[in-house]
Amino acid sequence: MDTHKVGSDTTVIADSLDVPGIGHVPANAYVLTAAEPVVVDTGLSVEDRDFVAALGGVMDPADVRWIWLTHPDRDHTGGIFDLLDAAPRARVVTTFLGFGIMTTERALPMDRVYFLNPGQSLDVGDRTLHAFRPPLFDNPATVGFYDDRTRICFSSDCFGGPMPSAELAESGHASDLKPEELRRAQLLWATIDSPWVHLVDAEKYRASLAPLAEMNPEIVLCTHLPPAVRMTRQMLDTIAAAPDADPFVGPDQAALEQLLASFEAGGMAAA
């Protein structure tokens, strides 16, 4: 994990997963040090990660007032219950549906939840966070937001893209890739994470990009992409092409057996 600042008061808690055949997929959480501090998502749900400890390098977890859960998938909820214990005044910003999905594994305490729908806003003391539904998503409870003070958009999974290395995934910027490399990575991610994009009316889908274009954030912070600074128009043009991109087809059993055989052969060679 790597921690670094973006802008004056936003910190990235960066992590990644190596996905064979795909690349290094960033898995970011964020800390917004507003008057009422906001943590955006809580990292991966894998045993060797300690999200609260990583957060402690940025601020005292007890001072967190809001935990904005962009959606309740396991790559966004890893530290949520430990953080609720460490931050007794914090409330989880989610939707009715997001709350319901969480109860299928472990229920969030109802008195610690704050329901917020796309189109609504949250006052965090020194700024207002404007909730919106990103145009690409893999969970129906997804809600991102726009910080009207910093002009930063938190887009959840939308705009994601696998990176060629863990170093770039965790410590780089989206602009470190050549434009065509980034475009390929983002279209690949769009077809993996939002396969429904091939089934919808393409023009209606493209019309759904207009609110983000009008918002025109200076910085886009995505869960699955390094920070993207002054790249919004370029990235919107990329995801506008998602309905026409080749659908993603994952490995089948024969490919899995071949992969396992290569691992076994590599282990024997090392021995």
Q: Contact, 148 vs 126, CB < 8 A?
A: no
SS3 state at 152: strand
pLDDT at 271: 53
Dihedral of CA atoms 196, 201, 207, 208 in degrees, nearest 10, equals -30
Residue 46 to residue 75: CA distance in whole angstroms: 9
Q: How far is CA 96 from CA 31, 54, 102, 209, 267, in A?
A: 23, 29, 10, 25, 48
Q: Which amino acid is at 128?
A: T
The structural domain count of the chain equals 1
| Closest of 1, 154, 5, 137 to residue 72, by C-alpha | 137
pLDDT at 195: 98
Low-confidence ranges of the chain (pLDDT < 70): 266-271
pLDDT at 264: 76
Residue 55 to residue 83: CA distance in whole angstroms: 9
CATH number of the CATH domain containing 58: 3.60.15.10
CA geometry: angle 8, 12, 15, nearest 5 deg: 165
pLDDT tens track for 14-32 = 999 999 889 999 999 999 9
**Domain coverage including residue 69:** 2-270
pLDDT at 269: 56
Q: How far is CA 122 from CA 94, 147, 155, 271, in A?
A: 12, 10, 16, 58
**Mean pLDDT over all residues of the chain?**
95
SS3 state at 176: helix
Residue 271 to residue 266: CA distance in whole angstroms: 9
Q: How far is CA 160 from CA 63, 118, 163, 188, 267, in A?
A: 30, 20, 10, 9, 33
pLDDT at 116: 98
State the DSSP code for 248: P
Q: Contact, 43 vs 13, CB < 8 A?
A: yes
pLDDT at 267: 61
Dihedral of CA atoms 217, 222, 225, 228 in degrees, nearest 10, equals 10
Residue 204 to residue 91: CA distance in whole angstroms: 35
